[in-house]
């Protein structure tokens, strides 16, 4: 090689959400170029079919292996861990630098005329006396850039095919690791993130930082207050109103209105289930006269918790709980057992939180005074111990 050499560097996989960035630094021997037939076939890798790219890749590799090579290249891969550590721009620079170092070992460095990179990152490389030239939009004109991009892309594709086999659930062949609709549909929750995802990329980071979802059953304004305030720090809460036990309807409406008021103050979404008092009366039939906390109340808790668990399963919310136990008049242990029963049935996780402890009740009293939230003075149904005279 006696004439001056031009080196071209290109990269593949800067934007995908997964794994590494790949760079290729390449030059032709200016005194011993590949034949015209091959040069005519080389084109922008984006315009070539996968099959054509593969064929050209093989030919370029062959030309780099002979005793008297016509093509020289270096290729390098910088993985997602480094991308997350130093950011994609610096990782890309490192992939290009290492690809360049690999190429510099194969050629006479005194013959280098210039190094050209098709982008405007303005990297500097200690290995070069004369720093690279950055040109935007030249890749459609230069055979060497096309050849470098063919090598980088096919190298990438070969690795991608291996990962397709390792992660069939990722449907890699459909999105080629980019943030497509299919990829977004797959990446709904943290446990879907694989060790090859780029965790620093916004959509992946958003999923990683997301709070777990919680379906929180609530039966009145006061019981909504402190549980929502405290739990929303840790969970992405959806509140659920299903309280067919509250009688009469006028009282039901009042409690519902104040439940909604708390949800609005705390800015959490809620679901309101229609009034279902006839079913409630069926649930407690023949048990009406049992004392509070006994059998009619067990059925009452069960009915509301059953509906909450069914909805949690339907909404794919694994964690769920109820604030029913904030009242010291309710049977905590019974509720926890009911929670276990529906966990087994629907594959959920009931949070066994004793809301009445740790001053939750006192704090709820403070909150209701401050925000003028209605606080009832009887449990709910017409068989409650302190059912008011005015409603009889
Ligand atoms: S007293 Fe309260 S918990 Fe018991 S059945 Fe009536 S509304 Fe339900």
Q: Is the CB of 383 under 6 A from ligand 1?
A: yes
Last residue of a domain, one of 109, 138, 167: 167
What tokens does 328 get? 């010291």
Interatomic CA distance for residues 288 and 284, integer angstroms: 6
Residue nearest atom 4 of ligand 1, based on CA coordinates = 297
**Is the pLDDT confidence value at 324 over 60?**
yes
Nearest atom, ligand 1, residue 330 CA: 3
b/e for 70-81, b at 16 or more Cβ within 10 A?
bbbbbbbbbebe
For helices 360-371 and 221-231, give the axis angle rounded to 10 degrees: 110
> What domain range includes position 105?
5-167
Q: Which residues face 5 on adjacent strands?
A: 112
Mutate to test the pocket of ligand 1, among 243, 248, 300 (most ligand atoms within 8 A of CB): 300
Burial of residue 269 (CB within 10 Å: 0-12, 13-18, 19+) is exposed
Interatomic CA distance for residues 344 and 346, integer angstroms: 6
b/e for 324-347, b at 16 or more Cβ within 10 A?
bbbbeebbbebbbebbeebbeebe
pTM for this prediction: 0.66
**Are 163 and 179 contained in the same domain?**
no
Q: Could you read off the pLDDT of 215-244 as tens digits, one per residue?
A: 999 999 999 999 999 999 999 999 999 999
**Are 234 and 354 contained in the same domain?**
yes
Q: What is the CATH number of the domain that holds 60?
A: 3.30.420.10
Tell me the percentage of the chain whose pLDDT exceeds 70: 98
Q: Could you read off the pLDDT of 152-169 as tens digits, one per residue?
A: 999 988 988 888 888 888
**Is the pLDDT confidence value at 180 over 90?**
no
**Is the pLDDT confidence value at 206 over 80?**
yes
Residue nearest atom 2 of ligand 1, based on CA coordinates = 379
Residue nearest atom 3 of ligand 1, based on CA coordinates = 297
Nearest atom, ligand 1, residue 293 CA: 4
Interatomic CA distance for residues 46 and 146, integer angstroms: 9
**Are 133 and 197 contained in the same domain?**
no
**Are 189 and 229 contained in the same domain?**
no
**Is the pLDDT confidence value at 311 over 60?**
yes
What tokens does 106 get? 């194969």
Quick one: pLDDT at residue 362? 85
**Ligand 1 center from residue 82 Cα (angstroms):** 59
Q: Could you read off the pLDDT of 54-112 as tens digits, one per residue?
A: 999 999 999 999 778 999 999 999 999 999 999 999 999 999 999 999 999 999 998 89
**Is the pLDDT confidence value at 14 over 60?**
yes
Interatomic CA distance for residues 292 and 300, integer angstroms: 11
Total number of domains in the chain: 3
Burial of residue 290 (CB within 10 Å: 0-12, 13-18, 19+) is middle
Q: How confident is the model at residue 2 (pLDDT cuts 50, 70, 90)?
A: low
Q: Could you read off the pLDDT of 126-151 as tens digits, one per residue?
A: 999 899 988 877 655 788 999 999 99
Residue nearest atom 6 of ligand 1, based on CA coordinates = 381
**Are 51 and 129 contained in the same domain?**
yes
**Are 31 and 158 contained in the same domain?**
yes
């Amino acid at each position: 090689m006696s004439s001056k050499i031009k080196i071209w560097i290109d990269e593949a996989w800067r934007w995908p959400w997964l794994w590494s960035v790949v760079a290729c630094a390449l030059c032709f021997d200016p005194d011993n170029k590949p034949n015209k037939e091959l040069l005519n076939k080389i084109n922008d890798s984006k315009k070539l079919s996968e099959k054509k790219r593969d064929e050209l890749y093989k030919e370029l590799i062959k030309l780099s292996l002979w005793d008297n090579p016509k093509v020289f290249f270096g290729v390098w891969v910088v993985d997602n861990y480094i991308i997350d550590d130093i950011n994609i721009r610096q990782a890309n620079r490192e992939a290009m630098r290492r690809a360049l170092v690999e190429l510099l070992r194969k050629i006479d460095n005194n013959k280098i005329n210039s190094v050209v990179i098709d982008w405007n990152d303005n990297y500097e490389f200690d290995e070069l006396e004369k720093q690279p030239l950055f040109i935007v939009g030249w890749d459609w004109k230069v055979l060497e850039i096309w050849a470098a991009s063919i090598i980088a892309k096919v190298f990438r594709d070969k690795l991608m095919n291996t990962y397709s086999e390792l992660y069939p659930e990722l449907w890699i062949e459909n999105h080629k690791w980019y943030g497509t609709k299919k990829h977004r549909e797959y990446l709904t929750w943290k446990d879907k993130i694989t060790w090859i995802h780029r965790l620093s990329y916004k959509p992946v980071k958003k999923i990683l930082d997301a709070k777990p979802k919680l379906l929180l059953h609530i039966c009145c304004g006061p019981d909504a207050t402190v549980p929502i305030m405290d739990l929303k720090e840790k969970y992405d809460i959806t509140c659920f109103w299903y309280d067919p036990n509250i009688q009469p309807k006028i009282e039901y409406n009042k409690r519902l209105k104040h439940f909604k008021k708390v949800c609005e103050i705390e800015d959490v979404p809620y679901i309101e289930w229609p009034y279902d008092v006839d079913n409630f009366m069926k649930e407690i039939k023949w048990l009406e006269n049992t004392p509070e906390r006994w059998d009619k109340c067990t059925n009452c808790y069960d009915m509301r918790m059953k509906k909450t668990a069914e909805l949690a399963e339907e909404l794919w919310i694994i964690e769920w709980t109820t604030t029913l136990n904030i009242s010291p008049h309710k049977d905590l242990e019974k509720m926890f057992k009911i929670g276990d029963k529906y966990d087994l049935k629907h594959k959920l996780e009931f949070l066994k939180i004793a809301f009445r402890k740790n001053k939750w009740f006192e704090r709820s009293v403070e909150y209701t005074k401050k925000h003028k939230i209605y606080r009832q003075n009887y449990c709910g149904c017409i068989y409650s111990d302190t059912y008011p005279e005015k409603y009889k």
